[in-house]
Amino acid sequence: MILIIEDFFTPHEKICKFLFLKREFSEIIKIDQDCYENLYKIQDNDVNFFIKQENFSVSDILKLEYYFEQIYRVDGDLLRFLNKKKRTKKLFHIKRDNSGITAIQEILENFNEEISEINLGKTNKPYMDAQEDDVVLYPSDEE
């Protein structure tokens, strides 16, 4: 089951056109604010859903994501993909021009592993390297 979280500038039709075959999307249903009435349909594996990101709060989106195996979420010019069953993540770049979306291109696969290898929290920041040899003089208590 697939959930597509679209925004105003990237409709779900464009995402489906560039990433999927038509047979995967035999049926796609919009989830409105009364989303909890449609939860019984989520149990059916042949039905896919999309929601507009602007219409839901962050907590409601997180609650809905719990019920789906594959989630596509648009964040500006990035499309984030999460497959819970296979435990994979992908990151796509949405290319645009004056006429609209021209392509969706994969940037990274399993990007969490690559980011954790960099380990941003423990690396020295550039300004720290520049100040490493500076001697700091602290005033004494008498002054």
Instruction: Using the predicted structure, report yes or no on whether residue 57 has a pLDDT greater than 70.
Output: yes
The predicted model scores a pTM of: 0.67
Query: Minimum mean pLDDT among 105-109, 130-134, 139-143: which range?
Result: 130-134
Residue 118 pLDDT: 39
Identify whether 68 is part of a domain: yes
Identify whether 8 is part of a domain: yes
Domain that holds residue 99: 2-130
Identify whether 136 is part of a domain: no
The residue among 7, 28, 1, 8 whose CA lies nearest residue 16 is: 28
Identify whether 135 is part of a domain: no
Q: How many structural domains compose the chain? A: 1
> In this structure, how many other beta carbons lie within 10 angstroms of the beta carbon of residue 85?
7
| Rounded Cα gap, residues 103 and 13, in angstroms | 13
Contact 110, 89 (CB under 8 A): yes
Identify whether 66 is part of a domain: yes
Identify whether 101 is part of a domain: yes
Identify whether 140 is part of a domain: no
Please give the mean pLDDT across all residues of the chain: 73
| Rounded Cα gap, residues 107 and 81, in angstroms | 11
Residue 36 pLDDT: 60
Instruction: Using the predicted structure, report yes or no on whether residue 40 has a pLDDT greater than 80.
Output: no
Residue 133 pLDDT: 61
Contact 51, 64 (CB under 8 A): yes
* 113 compared with 71, residue with greater pLDDT: 71
> In this structure, how many other beta carbons lie within 10 angstroms of the beta carbon of residue 4?
25
Identify whether 73 is part of a domain: yes
Range 76-92 average pLDDT? 88
Which residues partner with 91 through β-bridges? 80, 108
